[in-house]
């Protein structure tokens, strides 16, 4: 169907050509954006920036005892993404203030457990003991106290900025 042979207007063949080219460009964009993102995003991801994870409603934490909360973190290794379990300890204080600790013992990474008799955290591996008041080392080989984590309250939930830290050294260094 030729509508115009004088060079003005658009023939059906030209019109289909434009539509095909436009569709091709659209498909190329849709495919390219995630592919480029997948390559660029891990390279730009800031080391030690942490992951904000909800620990649930703030009213489930009381001042009486620290509460252990299990979370899942997403670890990016190059282009590979893995989900890994982690544990934090939460201590509620007055006026909606909290202390949140990474439960990994700073010696070699065993999960420090709460001893309600002694009111200390104890690492089951090599006898590390941490104080309730501030997570400092009371005994054993841990080179520093429990690592505290940044938190915020959002919509009535306690949200922690979870990070792993280098083990076995005195300085608190995010991985
Ligand atoms: S891992 Fe905790 S004392 Fe060694």
Q: In this structure, is residue 9 part of a structural domain?
A: yes
Predicted local confidence at residue 11, as pLDDT: 66
Query: From the CB of 107, is ligand 1 less than 6 Å away?
Result: yes
Question: Do 87 and 145 share a domain, yes or no?
Answer: yes
129, 138, 141: which to mutate for ligand 1, most atoms within 8 A of CB? 141
Q: How far is the CA of 128 from the centre of ligand 1 (A)?
A: 5
15 and 64 inside one domain: no
CB proximity list for 65: less than 8 A, separation 6 or greater: 114, 116
What's the domain range around 38? 1-44
Q: Do 1 and 15 touch, CB atoms closer than 8 A?
A: no
Q: Most distant CA pair in the chain: distance in Å?
A: 96
Listed in sequence order, the residues at least 6 apart from 86 whose beta carbon sits closer than 8 Å to its beta carbon are 70, 71, 72, 73, 102, 103, 104, 162, 164
Residue 142 CB less than 6 A away from ligand 1: yes
173 is a domain residue: no
Q: Residue 1 has what pLDDT?
A: 45
Residue from 164, 169, 165 nearest 141 by CA: 169
State residue 37's pLDDT score: 46
> What CATH number did the domain enclosing 144 receive?
2.102.10.10
Ligand 1 within 6 A of CB of 122 = no
Asked whether residue 30 is domain-assigned, the answer is yes
Tens of pLDDT, residue by residue over 54-112, are 999 999 998 879 999 999 999 888 889 999 999 999 999 999 999 999 999 999 999 99
Using a CB cutoff of 8 Å and minimum separation of 24, what contacts does 137-143 make? 140/107, 141/107, 142/105, 142/106, 142/107, 143/106, 143/107, 143/168, 143/169, 143/170
The pLDDT, as a whole number, for residue 21 is 62
Domain count, the chain: 2
Residue 162: the pLDDT is: 98
Any domain includes 55: yes
Mark whether 31 and 71 lie in a shared domain.
Answer: no
Q: What is the CA radius of gyration of the chain?
A: 27
């Amino acid at each position: 169907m030729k509508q115009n042979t004088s060079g003005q207007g658009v023939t059906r063949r030209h019109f289909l050509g434009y539509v095909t080219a436009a569709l091709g460009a659209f498909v190329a964009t849709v495919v390219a954006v995630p592919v480029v993102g997948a390559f660029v995003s891990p390279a730009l991801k800031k080391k030690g920036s942490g992951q904000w994870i909800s620990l649930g409603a703030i009213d489930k934490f009381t001042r009486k005892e620290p509460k252990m909360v299990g979370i899942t973190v997403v670890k990016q290794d190059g282009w590979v993404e893995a989900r890994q379990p982690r544990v934090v300890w939460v201590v509620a204080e007055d006026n909606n203030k909290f202390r949140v600790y990474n439960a990994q013992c700073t010696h070699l990474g065993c999960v420090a457990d709460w001893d309600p008799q002694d009111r200390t955290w104890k690492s089951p591996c090599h006898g590390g003991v941490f104080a309730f008041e501030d997570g400092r080392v009371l005994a054993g080989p841990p080179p520093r106290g429990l690592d505290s984590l940044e938190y915020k309250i959002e919509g009535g939930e306690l949200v922690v900025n979870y990070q792993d830290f280098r083990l076995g050294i005195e300085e608190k260094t995010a991985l």
